Structure 1
Amino acid sequence: MDNLPDKYKFSHEFCFFLHDQLVEALKSGEKASIFHHEIKMNPDEIAAIERLSGDDLLAWLEQNGHKDQVWILYYKQICAALISDMLHFVYEALQCSKKGKLTVAYALLRKPFKENLFYLEWLLGDPGGFLSRFDVGNIKKLSVNSALSEDDRIGIISKALNETAVGDWLSPEFIYALRFDKKFQDSLEPLFQKANHLVTTFRFLETEGQNFNFVFSDQESWESQWNHLYTYLPILLFHTVEIFEALLSKFATRAEGFDLTWIRTLIGFAFWSRGCVLEFDHKALFKEVRDHLTSSNLKCNACKSPIEFDDQQLLNLYENYSMNCNKCEWEFDLWGMHEKR
């Protein structure tokens, strides 16, 4: 069942594109065993741990000079586990949005963006601080809301942004407010709260009289909820892609060559930003994409003419991995150029 208005379909598909990009990064990483970690030991150490497993094994490693190796293992396994869990929620939320089940969609998005994503940011921006708290086993020290002040959380997001390939393309204050600030007019937090609670009493989220949150939504309400979702969800998913790629770069490398996935991401973001109320410089994005493609000297497989990249050509590349020769009109795909980890 598809109840999504046509004007949100490109944004919806772009969100799924970013979701699928994260899935591909996770699956290819698992296939290449990048989340595994080998600890070199002498024969005596191997004999000592032969019958140990789980917490007993980790405790032995930490007590016998391998604490740094345990932390590397934590780092890799936490990356994979958090993104995997996050993607389950995002997938179901997008499916619910498409069906018009917006209360469920917003309820599902609360945890992945307020918790999973923040822990990934923390692991990237302050790995030592995060892992030291994780290693202690005191859950209260890992609580997003009670263990860290607002300034602490913004500081962690700022450090994480600086570790990504795009840097601080948005301010850490904005990314924080979009997910956590109940008073920020564009924040998703009020909608997260109202989707999860029939009655809210916080001053900025107070339920109207003779009402329950989201229960009596009409077409106008659904339109407003869709509009808000597809204005900001692509931003948060793009940010998540950058955070996860930066985390993976700490212990894995991409093969050199033409990065088709990244180019398609930029193309999708450029087309999406054209209709976005936020002031992104989509003209500069399109220029960056075209300059990169032109510098790659892509030529037609049939007549060897250089490929020119108008809007339709870029859209075909984004949606279908395909291009048409501007001279002989030969159509060919670039699937074989898709980068593998």
Structure 2
Amino acid sequence: MSEQEKESLNNFEGHILDWLKSNNKTKEYEITIKKRVIPALLSDMLHCIYETLKAMELGKVTIAYMLLRKPIQENLYLFEEMILREDSFIKIFEENPLSLRPKNAGDIEGHKNRMKIILETLKLDSILDSSYLATLRYDKKSEDSFDGVCNQAMHLFTEHQMIKTENLNINFIFADKESKKTLYDFMYSRLPYLMYYIYLVFEQIVASISATTQDYLADIHHRIFAMFLLSYAHIDDYYKTQQFYDLCILFEKYLIKSFKCELSLNTLESIAFTGKAL
């Protein structure tokens, strides 16, 4: 910034965004907005997910699934839009933010195609399954989806054919201990896969503003991979999926190559919590 620009900014009485825009500093203008939006959006997302997990821990299954819908369908969608519409996102955000809602992606195929583009951009389309991610987040017709369960948790009565409330019933109200255990197992066998995708999307966005060091990325990857393997060990066979298993095999190979050791339970716990093998 030149001395003349510094003086102009110091004497400017309006909002800094107005100054940036009036001085044709488009890049700085967009980065300033993103630096304001991204932390707030991430905070909102993580608070919802944290409270989801705390509610599950306390056995408050209905509350947990009510809270999960927004972060995985709306917050994550907006982060995806920042990648897919990198050059036009700020303009759209200024002029027509309603076009940034998930319903504008269309049907499940539309959501799948969006995520496929993102995974291809990240060069991870052979690692994560865009079709499965779309199903988990948005497909009411699938039993292997958060969408139907989250809608039932949110509403006392639902009419969609696949989640229609039975006669003489109210969604979740009469759930017994066995039903809650089923919902618990479903949550913890599906959410880690989705959380890894969330991490990848967020890392891509922030890297475009301020790149993360390779040492930090390696440490984070080691911890995530180890935690992923630990979580898989606690999943009941009935709830295991091919997608989760394939990711575990990949993570296991990566950790063995990185640490050059066998991955015992104690070793995985050490990597997960300290970033180092025993």
TM-score with structure 1 setting the length: 0.71
Q: How far is 1:96 from its partner?
A: 0.4
Larger RCO (CA within 8 A; separation ≥ 6): 1
Matched, 1:271 2:224: no
Aligned to 1:315: 268
Partner secondary structure for residue 204 of structure 1? helix
Aligned to 1:103: 62
Matched, 1:149 2:115: no
Aligned-partner Cα distance in 2 for 1:310–1:203? 46
Aligned to 2:8: 47
Aligned-partner Cα distance in 2 for 1:233–1:311? 24
The question of whether the paired residues in 1 share the 8 Å contact of 2:159 and 2:165 is answered with: yes
Aligned to 1:81: 40
Q: How many residues align?
A: 268
Aligned-partner Cα distance in 1 for 2:83–2:268? 33
Aligned-partner Cα distance in 2 for 1:139–1:166? 29
Q: How far is 1:284 from its partner?
A: 4.2
Q: How far is 1:191 from its partner?
A: 0.9
Matched, 1:160 2:126: no
Matches within 5 A, 1:154-233: 154-164=112-122, 166-233=124-191
The question of whether the paired residues in 2 share the 8 Å contact of 1:124 and 1:163 is answered with: no
Partner secondary structure for residue 87 of structure 2? helix
From the two aligned structures, give the one with the greater helix fraction: 2
Partner secondary structure for residue 155 of structure 1? helix
The question of whether the paired residues in 2 share the 8 Å contact of 1:158 and 1:168 is answered with: no
Write out per-residue CA displacement over residues 247-289 of structure 1, whole angstroms, 9 at most, x where no aligned residue: 1211223334373221121122233335461122334432221
Write out per-residue CA displacement over residues 33-69 of structure 1, whole angstroms, 9 at most, x where no aligned residue: xxxxxxx355257426634344xx4244324312232
Percent identical: 25
The question of whether the paired residues in 1 share the 8 Å contact of 2:224 and 2:272 is answered with: no
Aligned to 2:26: 67
Q: Cα distance 1:44–1:82, how it changes in 2: closer, same or farther (>3 A)? A: closer
Aligned to 1:18: none
Q: How far is 1:101 from its partner?
A: 0.1
Unaligned runs of 5+ in 1: 1-39, 295-307, 325-341
Aligned-partner Cα distance in 1 for 2:256–2:39? 33
The question of whether the paired residues in 2 share the 8 Å contact of 1:92 and 1:108 is answered with: yes
Q: Cα distance 1:192–1:50, how it changes in 2: closer, same or farther (>3 A)? A: farther
